[in-house]
Structure 1
């Protein structure tokens, strides 16, 4: 009886030791970026819905924002606000309401295929409070290091970052990404992938924000399985595949 009790206590001790080690490893799975302390990405904007931060976006011009469709689809436009010229959540910056939110009919809310939206603002952002970003019409080669910025979680199941964050991630080939997501989610021709497995990735709250490759926006943060997981890269809307939709909207709403 005493021997059994000793054995149980030893097993319990081993369980707690291993459990602590495993938890520590999980807690280290942070999106490995760094804080942005200067307003050097003045094309970046925040989307707030009903007063709460929801997504990121980028300014294509002084009155047009590019973001993800899942950030705005089904939302009441009257409750949407765009915050520009700010790098902290506590700073409202320049605030604008949204006059039009355009989502392609090709968007699929179940698969997040064609996950893109263009917002036309109620009035222009002052010239001194922003810079516009140029879109990349060409597909980005795998291995290319790209910049992702946002206020998203700094670890899986975490909380939004009060300070804007930036991280550099290499593009993963679509074929490789499709293999990794096989049986989990569809990686379509309108998507691209990027991450440093287990170390660097975008996360919840970064949705809609830009992926910048060689000085141009090549992707929109869209979705992924968890954050910075070893197996699953982050998934982005491929700008080169949806550029025609964006161009059409901008011409329709000058």
Structure 2
């Protein structure tokens, strides 16, 4: 059996066993990063389903969270919750249930195009610190912060302590070339990684990419973790900002 076939079979087995893999795109943790030992990213939240950690997210309003659509697409809203003001999985922090999960009609489950969702919380978090969104495209080479509880290596386990890395933005043209024949890199996506050294990975999905002090991306998908050949793919906030603003206005 060729290497590609073995990989495909393994992904199918994992899909039916735990439901964490959709086609060739996997849930994305931090590879090559460092532990966050003090609360310095108060806008970061965890998304849980039935009490189990699933994804990251960010507070964009005291009662609204930004995350990836694939983090909520197959889950019952009533059984979702977010945990804020915490950097360790053993700490519940401030917990809120979800009132509405808004996913754009443009979202494509297979390609992960337009992979964004806005979650309206059951009640506001009065002390919430929110992140400002990046409304313009980020220049290639810009060093961006990514945080999450994802795997610290491919085929690893989630990280109990929040992790952080800085990765440079890769041009869309270069990223499209690297993913040729594997997945489409659309205008709604951006790519970043330090090849073979620093990357997001499984478990980081939905979490923020911060560039120039503002959230420019949402961890979305990629092939493996920390591979030289494949950068991680993020939803480009500047291209989906209209949906985010519309969703927030609906529940102002």
Aligned equivalent of 1:94: 94
| Aligned partner of 2:156 among 155, 158, 179 | 158
After the TM superposition, which residues 113-152 of structure 1 pair with which residues of structure 2 at under 5 Å, given as runs? 113-127=113-127, 130-152=128-150
2: CA distance, partners of 1:179 / 1:125: 43
Kindly indicate whether residue 198 of structure 2 is the aligned counterpart of residue 208 of structure 1: no
Aligned equivalent of 1:35: 35
1:164-197 superposed Cα distances (whole Å, 9 cap, x missing partner): 0000000000000000000111100000000000
Structure 1: which 4+ aligned runs deviate by more than 2 Å? none
TM-score normalised by length of structure 2: 0.88
1:49-97 superposed Cα distances (whole Å, 9 cap, x missing partner): 0111000000001100000000001210111010000000000000000
Could you say which structure has the larger radius of gyration?
1
Measure how far apart 1:203 and its partner are.
0.4
1:95-135 superposed Cα distances (whole Å, 9 cap, x missing partner): 000000000000000000000000000001121xx310000
SS at match of 2:244: helix
Aligned equivalent of 1:177: 175
Aligned equivalent of 1:80: 80
Aligned equivalent of 1:227: 225
Kindly indicate whether residue 230 of structure 2 is the aligned counterpart of residue 236 of structure 1: no
Gaps of 5+ in 1: 1-29
Measure how far apart 1:43 and its partner are.
0.1
1: CA distance, partners of 2:123 / 2:112: 29
Aligned equivalent of 1:106: 106
Aligned equivalent of 1:218: 216
SS at match of 2:53: strand
SS at match of 1:226: coil
Q: CA RMSD in A?
A: 0.7
1: CA distance, partners of 2:61 / 2:78: 21
2: CA distance, partners of 1:37 / 1:126: 24
SS at match of 1:92: coil
TM-score normalised by length of structure 1: 0.87
SS at match of 2:185: coil
2: CA distance, partners of 1:142 / 1:151: 26
Kindly indicate whether residue 51 of structure 2 is the aligned counterpart of residue 51 of structure 1: yes
